[in-house]
Amino acid sequence: MINIVLFGPPGSGKGTQAQHLIEKFNLKQISTGDLFRYNMKNNTELGKLAKSYIDKGELVPDKVTIDMLIDELRKPTETNGFIFDGFPRTANQTEALETIVKDELGAEISICLSLVVEDEVLVQRLLKRGETSGRTDDSNEDIIRNRIKEYYTKTAEVAELYKKQGKYVEVNGIGEISEISEKLFAEVEKIK
């Protein structure tokens, strides 16, 4: 079983590369954003709970996110593992994910792949995406720079934990999409 934590700041190409990893290794992507949207749209108990925090402008507690993650991992799947996207973001979430993967799957996180792209390139990519995406957070340079800064602040401690475990790998996220995919594939092949 291959279980990947995929990191990358906004504009790094993480979404595109996740799809390539999914196709190459037959993985299932678990995105916390998607889990929130699914649970709220379908009015599940966890969705209602998450919405109660969001409606008050509060962060959804880790326990709610973790319970959604466990529910998703328990669904039958014919895949060879998972890509975790948007989780973990903190040291506590990292430890929780390790426990969940061990308890629910009898496995462990195989690797943390981090796409590295210079900030100026990220800003230009997001501004370009903003021209067609309709996303307001992709069209304001100050907001983009803040999102990038937030990403680094939040993920630093998680990266450190995976570095200590020898599972953290940085991959240059600049270049042709297929070349970046090949670099990621090569890192995953090393752990198989």
Domains of the chain by start residue, with CATH: 2-26+82-185 (3.40.50.300)
Tell me how far the alpha carbon of residue 172 is from its chain's centroid: 17
- What is the C-alpha separation between 14 and 61, in angstroms, rounded? 25
The catalytic residue among 24, 28, 51, 129 is: 129
* C-alpha distance from residue 35 to each of 25, 42, 61 (Å): 22, 11, 14
Q: Averaged over 165-174, what is the pLDDT? A: 96
* Whole-number CA gyration radius for the chain: 17
Which residue from 92, 65, 94 is spatially nearest to 3, judged by alpha carbons?
A: 94
Catalytic residue among 63, 74, 135, 190: 135
Per-residue pLDDT band at 28 (split at 50, 70, 90): very high
- pLDDT tens, residue by residue, 76-111: 999 999 999 888 988 889 999 999 999 999 999 999
Task: Please say if 145 is a catalytic residue.
Answer: no
* pLDDT classification of 133: cutoffs 50, 70, 90: confident
